[in-house]
Structure 1
Amino acid sequence: MSTQRYYLSIADLAHARGENPAFSFQGVSAESFAQALQAALRKPTLWQQWSADQTDPDSIDPALGQTDPSATVSAKQADLHVDIEVVTSLSHTILKHRLALLAGHSWELHDVKPA
């Protein structure tokens, strides 16, 4: 898969939480969110914890656990919302899953471009 640049935003970072507190983002700053998402894309830790917590972990497609050691995430506070830029070779499906674990469905995708 080619490397893509994703442009996202979160309207209210203080309420951007995943459904399960064990996997959810717990920080308060744009920088701490960028660090958490970057770690979730680069390392398998979050995915491994989530998959181990599932009723039937063996039924989960292992491709969902792929990582990108070169992924980068930057985020900056802009008024009340946070603008996020992700550069990764991971699929949109994997990025969406990691975002959902960390921030629920409180994020919005604005654009995707080749990196």
Structure 2
Amino acid sequence: MARNHYYLSIADLAHARGDDPRFAWDGAGPIDFAAALQQALRDDTLFRRWRAAQPDPDAVDAGLGATDPAAQVQVQVADLRTDVDLITDLPMSVVRHRLYLLIGAAWQLRDLRAA
């Protein structure tokens, strides 16, 4: 699978949280968020917890549980915006799902390129 380079931005990381507090990021800053997102992409712990909480866990698309042990996340703060640089071989559907669990819709995809 091809590795992709996702460039994301988060306007207000301090208030960015997923809808369900059981899965939402609860860190203190950009470095904590980068670590949480990287962990969420490298292993399936967050996905398994979310799946178990669904009304019919067996009906959940198992493809959403894909992982990339080599996923890399870096962040940089520019003004009040947090820029996220993510390199992974995971498809956008998986990246999007993990981001929504962690920080809801508080992010924006700026660019996507082959890594």
TM-score category (smaller protein): over 0.9
How is 1:1-115 mapped onto 2 (pairs within 5 angstroms)?
A: 1-115=1-115
Q: Structure 1 length as normaliser, TM-score?
A: 0.98
User: After the TM superposition, which parts of structure 1 deviate over 6 Å for at least 4 consecutive aligned residues?
Assistant: none
Residue identity in the other structure for 2:2: S
Structure 1's unaligned 5+ residue stretches are none
Residue identity in the other structure for 2:83: D
Percentage of pairs with the same residue: 50
What is the RMSD of the two structures over their aligned residues, measured on CA atoms? 0.6
Residue identity in the other structure for 1:79: D
How many aligned positions are there?
Answer: 115
Q: 1:49 & 1:88 partners in 2: Cα distance?
A: 22
Q: 1:10 & 1:4 partners in 2: Cα distance?
A: 19
Alpha-carbon shift at residue 28 of structure 1 (Å): 2.1
Q: CA contact under 8 A between 1:75 and 1:82: conserved in structure 2? A: yes
Q: 2:23 & 2:44 partners in 1: Cα distance?
A: 13
More displaced stretch, 70-79 vs 94-103? 70-79
